[in-house]
Amino acid sequence: MCGIVGMVSADEFYAREAVQRLKRLEYRGYDSFGYYYDGKLFKKTGHIIVPETKDRTKMIITHTRWATHGGVTDANAHPHRAGKVTIVHNGIIENYEELREGLKEKGRVFSSETDSEVAAHYFDEKLKTKPMKEACVDFIKDIKGEFAILVMIDREDTLYALRRDSPMVLGVGENINILASDIYAFSDVTSKAIFFENDEFAAVKSGSYTFYDRHGKEIKKKIQQFKWEQEESTREEYEHFMLKEIMEEPKAVRRLILSLETEQKENFGKFVKLMKESRKVTFVASGTSYHASLLGVYYLHKCGVEAQTIIASEFEHFVGVDRNTLVVAISQSGETMDVIEALKYAKKNRAKIASIVNVPYSTVQRMSEISLNIVAGQEICVAATKSFVNQVTLMLSIAREFGFRINTSNIPGKIEKIFRQKDKIEKMAKELNRHNDIYVLGRGLSYPVAREIALKIKEISYMHAEGMMGGELKHGTIALIEKGTPVIGLISNKDYDMLSNIKEVEARGAHVIKITNEMKGDFMVDTSNDGKFGILATIVGQLLTYYVAKERGLPIDKPRNLAKSVTVK
């Protein structure tokens, strides 16, 4: 979580430019924001507001926060200052209480509830007796937990950056260097980047930089030329980014299909070959990406491929891996901490690593022997929509190599047919708006879809929603069904077992909404291939969620308590 941008330049630039760059990373957290330059500290709760100031500076640090330690208050917002040191921090300092007490004994006074403020006092105290390079070595040795941290020292022309497990990258420009959590912060001005690995730190000036390992030994780092095509981050004619990104799904799928046939063709072949050569294939993912992986496992299972998927945060507890295992990570951001921890466990046990990501040069991609990009483009809305569709399209493309019969080329056209039902979906949303509980039922292929639709409803509409296996309904949850309770039933093909589950809730008075492709229903999905049902039915759910949230007047693109990139455990 949290977004960081730091800039150091030979020439003056407008301070507001740095805040504009920070706003490009607002998807990482938006509880509060702040910045510091030339002795001026500003921090405030709420979404990022680009200041109207015409102040110019040569060095600045900025931060947008997703709260972990301490409430959402101005005092807890970053940057944090102590003496001559100002810092911004992403991650969690696990031993901050112990460090805090030790610093208090030395007379340090704290003004926030955060773990991050410890870092500011730590460096200010160390600098009384040591140069900054030695202080960085001590910090890496003494700190337990994760950090991406920028340190600014009064009257110095250098930004210091340290990284462990939380993302940090240096964008190298002409007479300017930009440190950030994500290449998107500077991808419009430079295509040159240096990625920090764990327990590395750097001293960065306007026209130079020096990297060090954990022991303070200077290391040479390779500049990577990156290419990342992004749509402009504007809503255009749409009221919200979520709707814009849903409407971009046909274009995103076409872009992926073309990519797999051209620039990713060789990598795609190697990816499939590695899967075929592995004795065991295990997917690992979180949230929406996990639901995409569930669909992928379903497709592969239909081809006789032994595969499984495990939620990343529980990976170590429920799966065994060895040198004959291929672990495939699926992550939109490529920086999901739970996924990274699962890959560390897999590497420790000598498993092979592959990945499916949307953000190039991310940590997950760099940990992989081979990686495929879903090329969905930037998503500004926190809720994943087009990235999910492209993840599932890629899983269908992989399954086809194992014998799954699917024509992916007509997926975009079928998605566009779903859009023709928008008015009908919006009308249904007005009815659902009166309720605070909803159940989404699926079986087999439609079970992951039920999970994903329910997740979207929770994230964006703030309704209590459960996505569950239709067969499990009668083992407890049916006790919650009463007259008028909305239930979404997902019927793929002629699934009479699913139809029986729907009849069970109808008998208890439930208001059933059917999404189906071959039986009579409220929303019809145009496919006779059950693989595509996984994508198309989900899009009905995405639109339904959007219109319920709009009806409720909710902050659709930035729902409370959430962030797009989950970089803490």
Q: Is residue 259 part of a domain?
A: yes
Q: What is the pLDDT along the chain (569 residues), one digit of tens a residue?
A: 689 999 999 999 999 999 999 998 888 888 999 999 999 999 999 989 999 999 999 999 999 998 888 899 999 999 999 999 999 999 999 999 999 999 999 999 999 999 999 999 999 999 999 999 999 999 999 999 999 999 999 999 999 999 999 999 999 998 999 999 989 899 989 999 999 999 999 999 998 999 999 999 999 999 998 876 554 567 778 999 999 999 999 999 999 999 999 999 999 999 999 999 999 999 999 999 999 999 999 999 999 999 999 999 999 999 999 999 999 999 999 999 999 999 999 999 999 999 999 988 899 999 999 999 999 988 889 999 999 999 999 999 999 999 999 999 999 999 999 999 999 999 999 999 999 999 999 999 999 999 999 999 999 999 999 999 998 888 998 988 999 999 999 999 888 898 999 999 999 999 999 999 988 899 999 998 779 999 999 999 999 999 999 999 999 999 988 776 666 66
CATH number at residue 137: 3.60.20.10
Domain match, 349 and 466 both? no
Q: Is residue 565 part of a domain?
A: no
Task: List C-alpha distances in Å: 2 to 15, 113, 292, 347, 516.
Answer: 20, 17, 25, 27, 40
Domain match, 433 and 472 both? yes
CB atoms within 10 A of CB 397: 20
| Residue 123 burial by Cβ neighbours in a 10 Å radius (0-12, 13-18, 19+) | buried
Query: 514, 532, 550, 564: which one is catalytic?
Result: 564
Domain match, 442 and 303 both? no
Domain match, 183 and 279 both? no
CATH number at residue 403: 3.40.50.10490
Identify the domain boundary among 172, 190, 225. 225
Q: Is residue 268 part of a domain?
A: yes
Q: Is residue 568 part of a domain?
A: no
- Nearest 5°: the CA angle 371, 377, 382 is 105
Query: 2, 126, 381, 386: which one is catalytic?
Result: 2
Domain match, 376 and 393 both? yes
Give the number of domains in the chain. Answer: 3
| Residue 371 burial by Cβ neighbours in a 10 Å radius (0-12, 13-18, 19+) | buried
Domain match, 252 and 216 both? no
Domain match, 155 and 47 both? yes
Structural domain that includes position 493: 420-560
Residue 303: what pLDDT?
95
Q: Is residue 82 part of a domain?
A: yes
Domain match, 473 and 395 both? no
Q: Is residue 230 part of a domain?
A: no
Task: List C-alpha distances in Å: 36 to 121, 153, 204, 368.
Answer: 16, 11, 17, 37
Residue 228: what pLDDT?
63
Q: Is residue 247 part of a domain?
A: yes
Measured between alpha carbons, how far is 31 from 20 in angstroms, rounded to an integer? 17
Domain match, 290 and 380 both? yes
Domain match, 372 and 444 both? no
Domain match, 506 and 555 both? yes
Identify the domain boundary among 396, 415, 434. 415
Domain match, 268 and 218 both? no
Give catalytic status of residue 303 as yes or no.
no
Identify the domain boundary among 195, 225, 255. 225
Give catalytic status of residue 221 as yes or no.
no
Q: Is residue 232 part of a domain?
A: no
